[in-house]
Homo-oligomer: A and B are copies of this chain.
Amino acid sequence: MDLPFDLETFLPYRLNRAAERISLRFAARYRESFQMTRPEWRTLAALGSCGQMTATEIGAHSAMHKTKVSRAVRALEQRRWLKRIEDTKDRRVENLELTPLGRQHYRELVAMAQDYEQTLQTLLGKDALTQLENGLTAIETSMTPS
């Protein structure tokens, strides 16, 4: 029995490769302007766009391990970019929120993100981008945080 397996059609491999290329290129930008790691940017982005969230929610939203989130939260807190707000109903939970300073930097990073989005759109073409997004949506709806 022979193997009709082609790595070029294997989704996990391709997806990782694409994500790595796209994400590292963007990370290189904010890294030198803000000395920020990827987990930190993702945490900031989640809070900036969703408002108040808990660490667990951030982890589910961004598919980051909880210790990664924990460390990113601490780093952002030390920069005074976010603050912890204790939950009145459940004292295990910490509600996280950007400070005005954090929101300000968030806006700057959003500008960079939008610029990069432009780059990607001209690079990939609008049609391919749409198809990609449809596929990602399917993943997001069917692969609930395992």
Contacts and interface: CB of A to CB of B under 8 A. Distances in A.
Interface of A: 3, 5-26, 42, 45-46, 48-50, 61-64, 107, 110, 113-114, 116-117, 120, 123-125, 128-129, 131-140, 142-143, 145-146
B17 A18 contact: no
A12 B116 contact: yes
Given A13-B42, A129-B11, A3 B110 contact: yes
Contacts of A49: 5-8
Contact of A18 (B13, B15, B123, B131): B15
A61 B7 CA distance: 10
Per DSSP, chain A at the interface is helix
Contact of A136 (B61, B64, B132): B132
A132 B135 CA distance: 4
B128 A16 contact: no
Given A26-B12, A113-B10, A132-B136, A18 B19 contact: yes
